[in-house]
Chains A and B, each alone.
Chain A
Amino acid sequence: MKNKILIVGCGRLGASIANHENEMGGNVIVIDEDESSFDRLDDSFSGFKITGDATDLAILESAYIKTASEIIITTGNDNVNLFLAHLAAQRYQVPEVYVRFSDPEKSLLISGMNIRAIYPFELSLNKFIALENGGDNK
């Protein structure tokens, strides 16, 4: 199995990314503590679903983190996300690490590492400013 895409946290964002990557033909593996969160996945989703705590190395390794080409971390807890991002980048050297943070200050703690972060707060703020300044961006 090549080009494994590992998605941690199957909330709204995680599930949407999983559905998208699945449609694009990627080999998707989703991890979430709560089995019912997999209900968010499309019926056509053909990837793996693993129920368990992603901060447990055994779970991560059973999800093929060692050979994953991409990991997307979207759990609801910033501290868990920070830890997993450090782990993926430093210990497992996953080539592409994406992480979602609610707190923009977390950016200070990932500088210099091979981690790309998404800050919904900043995106929302920028969108608001764009809308207020004439709304030319839709």
Chain B
Amino acid sequence: MKIVIANGTQQAEFILEMFKSHENKIIVINSSRQLAKEITNKEHVSVIVGSPWRSFILEEADVYGADVFIALCEKDTDNYACCILAKRMFNVKKCICVVSNPNNVELYKKLGIDSVVSSTYLLAQSIKSESSVESLIKTLSLENNKIMVMETPVLTNYAIANKRIMDINFPKYASIAAIYRNYQMIIPSGQVVIYPKDTLLIVCDPIDQNRILDYVKRAEITSGEVKTSILRVGEKPTDAPKKGKK
């Protein structure tokens, strides 16, 4: 892979360290002569000195057709300009734009940048998912919170325990992606029986998260009547499960 790293200090070194190998050709650009020197001394790579939003610098660095372009400038608009230039004029396959203002994530994407990353945004997302549901359930959101992957254990009193997947009438809006049992992963089909102590990996839309958890956690006897209340930090607790039921 041909990887371009534009500006950045520790992040640049870290990424460089991570991708350093024979298969990868890494191009480093830095607008500060001082930092360029430091990176060269530490990582033993040649660094092109210049502003990565100037096209002659990208030309000098031979960025043409690179697989990944990572913009790590301090200012969001500088990163925007680098990525747009790399994309339009240098046919870079994928541009990753790092921003400090989380509001710029959606905005920059709409303006045509493939991937926009904000550490604040990611931090907020992970705090949200860490603290969202009861401690037993781990969640992971993908594609900027458009897809939710949840890990939930099966307890003995659950209605779905000891039944075949084809018999439990699993809701259409979610899917069991995998079952983790005795340190082994099982790809589920209709015939597979869900046992207590299994861990289910469920994929769904984030808005259905509470709804599907309610479904999974239905107890055997009361089936569907008693619902586990789920506390989410920073969200109204009752909205999601009701949606679309009627």
Residues of A with Cβ closer than 8 Å to B?
A: 55-57, 77-80, 82-83, 86-87, 90-91, 103, 105, 108-109
Contacts and interface: CB of A to CB of B under 8 A. Distances in A.
A31 to B, nearest CB: 15
Contact of A82 (B80, B89, B103, B110): B80
Interface string B89-125: 1000000000001010001001100000000000000
Interface of B: 53-56, 75-78, 80-81, 84-85, 88-89, 101, 103, 107, 110-111
Contacts of B110: 90-91
Contacts of B55: 105, 108
Contact of A57 (B75, B77, B107): B107
A79 B54 contact: no
B75 A79 contact: yes
A83 to B, nearest CB: 5
Nearest to A82: B81
A56 B53 CA distance: 21
14 contacts: A55-B77, A56-B101, A57-B103, A79-B75, A79-B80, A83-B111, A86-B111, A87-B107, A91-B111, A105-B54, A105-B56, A108-B55, A109-B84, A109-B88
Contact of B88 (A90, A103, A108): A108
B80 to A, nearest CB: 5
A134 B175 CA distance: 79
Given A79-B53, A83-B81, A105-B55, 14 more contacts: A57-B103, A78-B53, A78-B81, A79-B75, A79-B77, A80-B77, A83-B111, A86-B84, A86-B111, A91-B110, A91-B111, A105-B56, A108-B55, A108-B85
Nearest to A111: B88
Contacts of A87: 107, 111
Contacts of B76: 55
Contacts of B75: 79
Given A86-B111, A105-B54, A79 B88 contact: no
Nearest to B87: A109
Nearest to B56: A105
